[in-house]
């Protein structure tokens, strides 16, 4: 009896709780709609159509591929490859007063004309203020009244699992909203751009979304939608956006200068693995990047940075891995003076570095050795069936825009003499080249034969 009574009381309490909960929800329903928030955001997202001039070899290849596919499907055989094609994407108004619009560089690169369509149907001609292909950010401007700008949020505060919505024009369908969560942060080494620190999201992103807005639950811009991983050119739930903070940094330079003129530090950096942490006697494996190389005559060298130093922060921004170093330095302008915190033998050190122009550094190095600039060399000694015992200098690499490349010097060549003087190592070759004024005459072994090559200083 007691047990039956206990069960009866339990069921009554459970039923009472359910009834109370039902009444509570009925009287105070939970509003899960984001429609009110979107009313203030949607007018800031625009459609962009750019007439692109075909100049890129890859674009021509893609158009030829489409032509072949069309013919295979029964299309006309007399199709010609067009001189232009239409690029369709999205953009985000970030300054209503000045008419500034953020988008992707790949949407408007090489554009002859750009048409911007607002959410209310108005059309305007877009003017390119500047673009930065390495980061895939571009800034447009339109002359229009009554614009609505989006509020830019702090993408550094994002966390995996946060709600986000993607707004854009997928497949030309204007003002489309999809939602999801942040799937991952700090995605790098994807090979999409030179500078990568992507937000990964499962909010569906499709062709035409490029340049559109990724917003948080408050309706603030946290990213610029850029790319997808899709085997069939459709969304499979893996999309990538450029963080708003990164886009804002580029935008400021484009407004001020019309371009991004990056400075260089002159180091190679490597992420810290558990094995490296053990070898360097480091306890924290989640922060920092180890300096693996320091270039000669670089800002890093002049500031005293050494191989083996651990970079902890750059201008106050914490460094978690090698990609953080690349991205942080990559968005700083030439002549920027920065403070770098490093650990050397577990001791914290702060060094001040002034970033230099990579072109100027290249000019200085090329001036020091104009004949062999861009050529990778190593000492070489081998017993060859064709040439006998060979001592010389092996050409390992040759940059394609160098004077040596223009003179037909190629990787695999073995230099045995310079200006009719025998050379057996790199130091001997460099000494002769440094003293040469106008031309450098090289005798080169190439396979079973040998040739003379002339490198002109004034090529």
| 106 among known catalytic residues | yes
Is 136 one of the annotated active-site residues of the chain? Answer: yes
- Beta strands of 300-364 (E only): which ranges? 310-314, 317-318, 337-344, 347-354
Q: From the candidates 136, 216, 309, 413, which is the catalytic residue? A: 136
CB 456 within 8 A of CB 438: yes
d(CA 354, CA 265): 8
Torsion angle of the four alpha carbons 296, 299, 303, 305, in this order, in degrees rounded to the nearest 10: -60
Instruction: Give the Cα separation of 233 and 236 in Å (integer).
Output: 9
Helix (H/G/I), strand (E/B), else coil: 66: helix
| Annotated catalytic residue within 87, 90, 135, 210 | 210
Query: What are the contacts of 117-125 at 24+ separation with CB within 8 A?
Result: 117/46, 117/47, 117/48, 117/49, 117/174, 118/43, 118/46, 118/144, 118/147, 119/42, 119/43, 119/45, 119/46, 119/174, 119/175, 120/43
Distance of CA 419 to the CA centre of its chain: 44
Determine whether 210 is an active site residue: yes
Q: Which residues have CB under 8 Å from 321's CB, separation 6+? A: 188, 271, 272, 289
Contact between 132 and 138 (Cβ < 8 Å): yes
Rounded distance between C-alpha atoms, residue 389 and residue 428, angstroms: 18
**How far apart, in whole angstroms, are the C-alpha atoms of residue 236 and residue 342?**
41
Residue from 87, 90, 106, 202 carrying the catalytic annotation: 106
* Closest among 115, 119, 211 to 166, alpha carbons compared: 211
The pair phi, psi for residue 88, each rounded to 5°, is -115, 130
Radius of gyration of the chain (CA): 30
SS3 for 452? strand
Q: For residue 136, what are the CA distances in angstroms to 105, 127, 194, 346? A: 5, 17, 9, 38
Residues annotated catalytic, as ranges: 106, 136, 210
């Amino acid at each position: 009896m007691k047990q039956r009574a206990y069960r009866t009381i339990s069921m009554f309490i459970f039923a009472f709780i359910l009834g109370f909960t039902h009444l509570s929800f009925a009287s105070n329903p939970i509003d899960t709609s984001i429609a009110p928030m979107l009313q203030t955001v949607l007018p800031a997202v625009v459609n962009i159509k750019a007439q692109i001039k075909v100049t890129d070899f890859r674009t021509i290849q893609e158009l030829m591929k489409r032509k072949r596919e069309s013919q295979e499907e029964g299309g006309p055989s007399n199709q010609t490859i067009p001189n232009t094609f239409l690029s369709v994407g999205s953009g985000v108004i970030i300054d209503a007063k000045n008419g500034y619009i953020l988008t992707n560089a790949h949407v408007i690169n090489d554009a002859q004309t750009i048409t911007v369509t607002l959410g209310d149907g108005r059309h305007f001609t877009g003017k390119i203020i500047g673009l930065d292909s390495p980061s895939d950010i571009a800034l447009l401007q339109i002359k229009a009244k009554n614009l609505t700008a989006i509020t830019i949020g702090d993408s550094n505060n994002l966390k995996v699992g946060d709600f986000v919505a993607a707004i854009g024009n997928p497949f030309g369908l204007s003002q489309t909203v999809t939602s999801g969560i942040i799937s991952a942060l700090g995605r790098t080494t994807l090979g999409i751009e030179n500078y990568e620190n992507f937000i990964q999201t499962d909010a569906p992103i499709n062709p035409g979304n490029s340049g559109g807005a990724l917003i948080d639950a408050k309706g603030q811009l946290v990213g610029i939608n850029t790319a997808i991983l899709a085997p069939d050119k459709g969304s499979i739930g893996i999309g990538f956006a450029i963080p708003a903070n990164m886009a804002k940094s580029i935008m400021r330079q484009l407004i001020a200068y019309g371009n991004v003129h990056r400075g260089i530090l002159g180091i190679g950096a490597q992420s810290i693995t558990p094995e490296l942490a053990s070898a360097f006697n480091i306890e924290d494996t989640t922060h920092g990047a180890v300096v693996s190389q320091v270039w000669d005559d670089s800002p890093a060298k002049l500031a005293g940075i050494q191989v083996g130093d651990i970079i902890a922060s750059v201008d106050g921004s914490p460094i978690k891995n090698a990609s953080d170093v690349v991205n942080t330095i990559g968005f700083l302008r030439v002549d920027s003076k920065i403070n770098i915190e490093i650990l050397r033998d577990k001791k914290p050190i702060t060094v001040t570095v002034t970033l230099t122009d990579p072109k100027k550094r290249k000019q200085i190095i090329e001036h020091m050795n104009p004949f062999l600039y861009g050529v990778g060399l190593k000492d070489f000694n081998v017993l060859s069936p064709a040439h006998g015992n060979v001592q010389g200098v092996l050409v390992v690499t040759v940059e394609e825009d160098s004077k040596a490349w223009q003179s037909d010097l190629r990787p695999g060549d073995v230099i045995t003499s310079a200006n009719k003087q025998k050379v057996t190592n790199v130091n001997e070759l460099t000494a002769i080249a440094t003293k040469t004024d106008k031309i450098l005459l090289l005798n080169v072994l190439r396979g079973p034969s040998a040739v003379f090559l002339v490198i002109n200083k004034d090529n």
